[in-house]
Structure 1
């Protein structure tokens, strides 16, 4: 069977809409401070590898927990250049990539995980307010939409489980006008939207104000633990510290043991030019919620502060060899598919053009949410595997790393989710075969009224399944 997104769209419309788009992240088209590279050797109490959300939250909260502590952050490129400057800016409360994913893995902890997730989201908002971070924060809530008949039942069931307010076809189209919508689920408290690059850049500013040193263009190349210290060798010098947090996420870990636990999966995004008031009025969207549909291959979209529609998702592409490469971001067939799906969703915006197109790699593991660990006698903590929902969960992940380094017995460190690891991905070519077979199966499920084939049912039974 076909889905609503299989309908044909005029190729000339797609050509015109994409013609002037710039191949770079819209979010990074903002003023960015420059931090000098490391030169020579420095000593610190804590060294953080990676200046994305996880690393910056870890550095900031470590400085606040213990003022005067010497903290150094090393970054291979620039603050926010990778996932922190390329994502959709959805700040979800969920720590488990959704309630169903959490229930299937930690049924005895799910209520605690949900509470900790809400506390983390509220705490993030409080930090932003307290520190005066200019990040375009809006606590708008999340609108999940059904675009196929079988998805309506899913949303009704979710509403019955207390996950939000069910909206019938008329009600959901009153919120956002799309002929593809059959129903909706509105969760008012569990999601905020943010300017993702500004969030990282403002966190960096707050870190510096707290006494943290940040070094850009300083790639960590090796890790040593002589005596009681941690040595991080970089392309520009060396940092010797008492403890370390590894926040490299999608990039190869300095700990070889972790390199099979995550794979890079590429996500693609378009952003329109700013909509006029008249164009915006055609689709409503007065309450500016984040929106996502509930297929396995799903789209996510939201409004920016200047009323661009940021439109991403659907294709999630794994490339053989689990490498992160710049040329993987240039995928015309995916940008054309996204543009077609945009116009199917909003045919009343046929005069809208795209200003930007970009992509980024998501750090994915086999349980689809973060995992943690300690190494080298408890001197090194790490977290990986946020699988596309790390804007909010990275703050929680950073706090867990600090708790682990402190040897603290907390609600966070006692979690089974924190104490256990996901199953690693197999080496190539098995990883590529398995990942692409699962992706094909998820697409088939979307085209079969949600029915999962033998492969997906087997993965579910093994605890490796995914419910978006």
Structure 2
């Protein structure tokens, strides 16, 4: 087996110790919110009645509430959240808002090739709508339509980029080594593709907080610290969401619980939680910024199976995450899984291999969160309880943009209308479930090991990965 650039060009251990010495285990995006965007909403008590009740106040639930309030301005809409608005993945992610509804073009082509022109068009329209929503609703979530930059960091990846650029997608530009390093000054870059139109950067927690604020201005009620314990449909119509201290009786319900166990029993095996880890630096000085270039401020994701993603925030910090994707036996979401010092040390090593000129820079924040992974690596949709309940889950790390699309899909499904969205095979068909334990842990961890081996073997996929690809279960981290 060969080595990767991160093993060939390791920074000194003293650089890593210095960078991580005073790092807080805390989510930067939430710490960065002004107090007026973090109101303390009450828990739900007693019995409430609504036209639509939504479980979950992340992006999926909040976009659905906002879009529902536009479709029927007089509707009574209630959102219940077990923690705080944007507490989970919606407040912890990297802030990459992609047009893709299919976890990238390659994944979409492997599963729904005939639909990809439609999916690409709908995805770009969805991204345009998110960008326009700042002005439309008076929101500020630091949106920048930067595009995304994909560097090759190993020689075998250069040909992958050439093949990608040769497909002729609009806005996709191939950069050779000199051009790539002129754009972003990393000695690890051997070439790059810049996908200019299909991605924006935003402030994740501000998006969730601003969506909640606008929803409340439109009459939506949001209850925090309200854990749902049951979903009841005892009569011929309506649905009841039962909480620890009350209930909401409604005509219809939307389940936007994503990584957390579904209230629909048949969906319990449809997703698994995979933990992702992130570092955030202190703000860069003007001299440090000049040393790395990056004037176009693109989001960056490299070409490895175990890839890194990184971006610049509005105040010129660098977020650096990815690589390790950790599954814990039993499908549990637990706070202790968020603390993994060895992964943050690995990320810090890889950061200074990527940008050795930033030696001396410190990390201020380190955190983690669980990704709701499905076997098709993008969201699945459906209804239950005689079409009184709609759900979407399984975004697999690319939900920042597609959660808005999911809101429209679920509202279409509840309305029982046939639209371009609901006729998509991606929407109509359910993916395969994950197996129960212990098979799930064995399969996921064997796949992760195989992906690491591929990165150390010129990208060559072993028999397990080839079999998964043939079954439509191929995966990268």
For 2:15 and 2:438, the matched residues in 1 are separated by 39
For 2:459 and 2:212, the matched residues in 1 are separated by 43
How many residues align? The count is 468
Give the equivalent residue in structure 1 for 2:23.
Answer: 21
CA contact 1:100–1:467 (8 Å) conserved in 2: no
Among candidates 276, 280, 289, match of residue 267 of structure 1 = 276
CA contact 1:101–1:467 (8 Å) conserved in 2: no
For 1:3 and 1:51, the matched residues in 2 are separated by 40
Among candidates 202, 219, 244, match of residue 194 of structure 1 = 202
**Is it true that 1:379 corresponds to 2:388 in the alignment?**
yes
Give the equivalent residue in structure 2 for 1:224.
Answer: 232
For 2:439 and 2:294, the matched residues in 1 are separated by 44
1:75-128 deviation per Cα after TM superposition (whole angstroms, max 9, x unaligned): 000001100010000000000000000000001111111111101101111222
Give the equivalent residue in structure 1 for 2:454.
Answer: 445
For 1:222 and 1:424, the matched residues in 2 are separated by 22
Q: Secondary structure at the match of 2:25?
A: coil
Shift of 1:176: 0.5
Once the two structures are superposed, the pairs formed by residues 16-415 of structure 1 within 5 Å of their partners are 16-29=18-31, 30=33, 31=35, 32-163=38-169, 164-227=172-235, 228-415=237-424
CA contact 2:306–2:476 (8 Å) conserved in 1: no
Q: Which structure 1 segments of 5+ residues have no match? A: none
For 2:452 and 2:191, the matched residues in 1 are separated by 21
For 2:440 and 2:292, the matched residues in 1 are separated by 42
1:235-294 deviation per Cα after TM superposition (whole angstroms, max 9, x unaligned): 221000000000000000111110100000000000000001111110011111111101
For 2:203 and 2:293, the matched residues in 1 are separated by 22
Shift of 1:467: 5.4
Q: Secondary structure at the match of 1:358?
A: strand
For 2:168 and 2:149, the matched residues in 1 are separated by 14
RMSD: 0.8
Q: How high is the TM-score relative to the length of structure 2? A: 0.97
1:373-424 deviation per Cα after TM superposition (whole angstroms, max 9, x unaligned): 1000000000000000000010001110000001111000000000001110
Shift of 1:9: 2.7
CA contact 2:201–2:299 (8 Å) conserved in 1: yes
1:27-85 deviation per Cα after TM superposition (whole angstroms, max 9, x unaligned): 01023111111111100000000000000000000001101100000000000110001
For 2:440 and 2:290, the matched residues in 1 are separated by 46
For 2:390 and 2:447, the matched residues in 1 are separated by 31
Q: How high is the TM-score relative to the length of structure 1? A: 0.99
For 1:174 and 1:162, the matched residues in 2 are separated by 23
Shift of 1:338: 0.1
Q: Name segments (4+ residues, structure 1) moved above 2 Å.
A: none
CA contact 2:18–2:360 (8 Å) conserved in 1: no
For 2:87 and 2:173, the matched residues in 1 are separated by 37
For 2:338 and 2:18, the matched residues in 1 are separated by 21
Q: Secondary structure at the match of 2:309?
A: strand
Shift of 1:162: 2.2
Q: Secondary structure at the match of 2:60?
A: helix
Among candidates 456, 470, 473, match of residue 461 of structure 1 = 470
For 1:128 and 1:261, the matched residues in 2 are separated by 34
Q: Secondary structure at the match of 1:15?
A: helix
Q: Secondary structure at the match of 2:119?
A: helix
For 2:40 and 2:353, the matched residues in 1 are separated by 42
For 1:132 and 1:444, the matched residues in 2 are separated by 48
